[in-house]
Chains A and B, each alone.
Chain A
Amino acid sequence: MITATNVTKHFGEILAVNDVNVTIKSGEVFGLIGTNGAGKSTFLRMAAGVLKPDSGKILVDEKPVYENPSVKADIFYISDDQYFLPNATPRDMASFYQDYYASFDRVRFDEMLGNFQLKPNRRINTFSKGMKKQLSVLLGVCANTKYLFCDETFDGLDPVMRQVVKSIFAGELLERDFTPIIASHNLRELEDICDCVGILHQGGVLMQKDLEEMKLNIHNIQCVFQNQEEEKTALGLLDIVKSEKRGSLNNITVRGSEKEIIDKINTFSPVFAEILPLTLEEIFISETEVVGYDIKKLIY
């Protein structure tokens, strides 16, 4: 588990991370979302032990990470612009990491290189941006570390590769104690892979939620009531996050379990009532609007 408590980091006069409190549970895929400059990379660099927080502490499995090689042995950090040794080939990089990560799986790496159609002896500086990202992920996965920090790693991948990487992550999650932390400015990329998402804005965490919990606890309902009096009474019983009305059709976002909401609405024998699926984006729009932010401005 990674715990960040009141973590703050300044770069000169710029406040990059401001009093962040985050808990990342082991075995979950954590998505770190925010606009450019929100502090995602800084947070990941601190969590990887590259940067030292000005104040607060980051504990990985209850141990401080900065200048702690035994903890860092459980972390593989893929930066947004991963550095490869000059003139190195994928094999050279594997050898390089093998020296640092005792559990680096060289056989699997060679095998996965073939699957990704990356030539093991081709110089990395001739690779495309996407190929470099793929290689980074392969190196990270084959390092067999408990934590894998991916900073904007998915941005350079094409949709097919993204799916492949997601499936690799899923496989890893099943097979071993694996906790990927993925930072991105694109909510849609993380929707179908993350278990938990934290939104960073202006250096601080706006919110951190479990995706399933959020999906189960918030719903979009379209309904038409027989008269306005019933409509008013029924909506009054619901924990409405957002409400719109077009003609007699109510489009409402409501907190609560699906059953609880439907039961309440059915009490008033509505003309029409239907629960529609909410996208992660819609959930966040709703949640952040509640706390006074326009999410569209934060993550697009």
Chain B
Amino acid sequence: MISRNLFIKLIKQDIKKRIWCPILIFVMCFLALEVRMLMELEEIVRYPHLYSYGIIVYIREYFFGQNAVNMSIIACIAAFLCGLSGYAYLHSKVQLDLYHSLPVSRSQFFWARYLSGILQFSVPFVLNVAVCIGIAASRKAVTAEMIPAVLSFIGIQTIIFVLVYSVTVIATGLTGNLIVSILGTGVLFVYSTGLELLTFWMSEHFFDTYVYNYKYEGNFVCGSSIWFFSPLSMITKFFSRPVIMTMSDAKKLFKYNTSYIGVLIVAAVLYSLAAYIIFMKRASESAGKPIAFRIAEPVIKTMVVIPLAFFSGFFFCMISYNTSSEEWFLFGVIFGFIVICILMEIIYRMSLRGAMMHKKQFLFNAACTALIFVIFRYDVTGYDTYVPADAQIQSCAVSISELMPLSQNIQVSEFSTHRLGATEYRMANMELKGNPSVMTLARKAAKEQLKYHYFDYYEGIENSSEYIEITERQKQYHWIEYGFKLSNGKTIYRKYMIDVADADTIDLLSDIFNDYDYKIGSTPVFNDGWNIDFDFVRCESNFKIADIALTPQIQSKLIETYQKEYTKLTLDMVMHTVPTGTIDFVINSENNEDLYTSYSGEMLVYPQFSETIALIKDYGFDMLEHPTAEDVELVRVRSINDDPYAYGHFNHSPYRGAYSGINNTYDIQEDKTVEYEYTDKEQIQQILDSVVSGGFSWNIRQYADLFDDRYIVDIQLEKRDRNNSSSYQQFIKGKLPAFIQ
């Protein structure tokens, strides 16, 4: 009769048989936990001024919190090792004959091995965590508050382990050969991530209006909600931080996506059950065969071949000189499809002779691949032309590119850099309602479907009338992004290219830009919900920069005044008025004086902003103050290369030079930059009267054609600290002194 303790004996036997597995896991955990902790503690003790938080918070929130992702990598590797080593016997006839002839039910045998694998990870892992706590205690860094953090750290790593472990067991059960099982584990581990990446690439490649959603910080994997069935997708989402919309949230220490833990647990349980069912259904005679379930062969083949064929298409696009080449994409898809079909058949049959088997399946997969290609290539679903009906719209968010950009990355603390793109902020915060121009412009853009025309370079193209005409016209093409917030709670994102030379378009765009809600929703500085306490405001005028320390009262007054005047700013003013200066609200890092962060970006001040200019003057900075010629020692004027088309006008030419089609090389043209120095006071005065700070142009240059790009002016003041003066200037168009021309 079977011993009562057989289950425990089975576990013991299994651990004893592959004792190398827990030992290896112990070593990996030791390196990832104790060694890393000691290294980091040493750093904190040595440079305490670089860390805002105490050592207790650091260990709790960083080591057992944010950086848990490092341990998750170890957990995944351990799961892979335990799963493969525990169930690889299914691939060996002799081992199967032994284990399956023993008087133990398969069910009991499966769960004993399954639990044994979990113990082989969790025991060394928990032991190492315990040692880590001991190390922390020796630094007096353990408090009662740390216990939940440590327990959740252990729990989360164990869940991640079980998730990946169960997927490995599934792959091992589905296959009958170790190599195929390793490949299968890899495929199952990344499959949904791969599909998401492919969907992202396909959409970006074929749809002109596609933008990935803005819910997660630069993370395409979490762009969609339907593909999270592979462990990699789930783990990535778990550790991804949703876009944070308030400064206080941004400053909060990293927390796991706690609402997602439940999904991980459910997935781990479901995958474990799936592994069990596969194990029970698996025939012993499958050992040695590549795929254990013959019925699964065509399904697996279709699921692998089609995505890989498209990946192959993108690969050939990437290695070709023209990354958007449709010919190379198609070649890659066809080539990849055929090669992968043949490879799959060879793997299935373990023989070259089987390479051309299953022609019907080949044709079916080819038809599916072709269908998907046609759907994307010819936009069968009408993705690019789709604009929701007015009745469906609850509100809209719009982001006009190159108008009032924000700083992209904000250093919140040593724990993280917070990325806040202008579009991400606006998509989440802007709610335009009752402005018919918003939807009219979207429909117009969707109908026109403007896109950049890229030229294949040939000698003398820059002199061709077609090239000149098109490149000139395309200078007026700009991006505008939309977030259609629908009544059903969904948000549809699109980007459109618009031609601002089109009078109707510019009228519609003006209506949007002039909308009070657009202005208010454009920047967090105007968002009461952010409650940002800035340290100072950096003011820049044409010739100088200065920081004004802020009190809450000054900040409030200044923002209020600026907001009042900014909301009255029209697009027409932006396009035709030279700015007077910029202001930038800045937070100074507590631990690093050189570290400045800003959520405002450089906000332009126009001559019409008289109250703002006056207020800033009251605070000690006169934006309208100009140096006279007497203050200037020297002016240098550099002329940029005369060829206006030599820079960045070819899709493939980021260099200033000529592209040689014969040997595919760029010949850098002779540098035609000429520098002139002016010391004559009269000439200097003329220059001073006709230049503007180069820094102003960047925020609006796509819309305001006010700056002469051909020259860079460097003004060297006599009496002032040169670092405190603006040295980079540009001439205002139409004001170029005659002696420079």
Binding site for B on A (CB under 8 A): 11-12, 45, 48-52, 67, 69-73, 75-77, 79, 81-83, 85-86, 96, 99-102
Contact = CB atoms under 8 A, between A and B. Distances in A.
Nearest to B285: A11
Contacts of B103: 69-73, 75, 100-101
Given A49-B100, A73-B103, A100-B102, A79 B94 contact: yes
A50 B2 contact: no
Given A50-B100, A51-B284, 13 more contacts: A45-B97, A49-B100, A50-B97, A51-B285, A69-B2, A69-B104, A69-B105, A79-B98, A83-B94, A83-B95, A99-B3, A99-B13, A101-B103
Interface in B1-60: 1-3, 6, 9-10, 13, 17
Contacts of B101: 45, 48-50, 72, 75-77, 79
Nearest to A45: B97
Interface residues of B, number: 27
B92 A83 contact: yes
A50 B284 contact: yes
Nearest to A69: B103
A5 B106 CA distance: 24
A100 B17 contact: no
B284 A86 contact: no
B283 interface: yes
Contacts, number: 73
Given A48-B101, A100-B104, A101-B103, A82 B1 contact: no
A212 B92 CA distance: 40
A39 to B, nearest CB: 13
A86 B19 CA distance: 11
Nearest to B18: A86
A73 B94 contact: no
B105 A67 contact: yes
A142 B10 CA distance: 20
Nearest to B104: A69
Contact of B6 (A52, A70, A96, A100): A100
Given A50-B97, A96-B13, A99-B13, A72 B284 contact: no
Interface centre among A50, A71, A81, A101 (most CB of B within 10 A): A50
A85 B94 contact: no
B105 A77 contact: no
Interface of B: 1-3, 6, 9-10, 13, 17, 92-98, 100-106, 108, 283-285, 294
A71 B1 CA distance: 10
Nearest to A86: B17
B448 to A, nearest CB: 60
24 contacts: A12-B294, A45-B97, A45-B101, A50-B97, A50-B101, A50-B284, A51-B284, A67-B105, A69-B103, A72-B101, A72-B102, A77-B101, A79-B94, A79-B101, A81-B94, A82-B94, A82-B98, A83-B94, A83-B95, A83-B98, A99-B3, A99-B6, A99-B9, A99-B10
B28 to A, nearest CB: 22
A77 B3 contact: no
B343 to A, nearest CB: 21
B100 A83 contact: no
Contact of B96 (A50, A52, A96, A101): A50
A49 B103 CA distance: 9
Contacts of A85: 17
A49 B93 CA distance: 14
B397 to A, nearest CB: 59
Contacts of A48: 97, 101
Contact of B283 (A52, A69, A86): A52
Contacts of B106: 67
Counting from the closest, the 9 A-B pairs by CB-CB distance are A73-B103, A77-B101, A72-B103, A83-B94, A79-B97, A48-B101, A83-B98, A69-B103, A99-B9
A12 B291 CA distance: 12
A11 B176 CA distance: 14
Nearest to B94: A83
Given A69-B105, A70-B103, A73-B1, A51 B98 contact: no
Contacts of B285: 11, 51
Contacts of A77: 97, 101
A250 to B, nearest CB: 51
Contacts of B93: 81
B86 to A, nearest CB: 14
A31 B584 CA distance: 95
Contacts of B102: 72, 100
Contacts of A73: 1-2, 103
A11 B95 CA distance: 18
B698 to A, nearest CB: 67
A180 B39 CA distance: 65
Nearest to A145: B103
Given A67-B106, A100-B103, A51 B283 contact: yes
Contacts of B13: 96, 99
Interface centre among B2, B9, B102 (most CB of A within 10 A): B102
Contacts of A96: 13
Nearest to A103: B1
B178 to A, nearest CB: 15
A85 B98 CA distance: 10
B8 to A, nearest CB: 10
A72 B2 CA distance: 10
Nearest to A9: B285
Nearest to B109: A69
A83 B10 CA distance: 17
A49 B100 CA distance: 7
Nearest to B17: A85
B628 to A, nearest CB: 91
A144 to B, nearest CB: 12
A86 B105 CA distance: 23
Contacts of B2: 69-70, 73, 100, 102
A12 B3 CA distance: 37
A79 B97 CA distance: 7
B1 to A, nearest CB: 5
A11 B288 CA distance: 12
A259 B290 CA distance: 62
A105 to B, nearest CB: 15
A73 B101 CA distance: 9
Contacts of B10: 99
Nearest to B280: A67
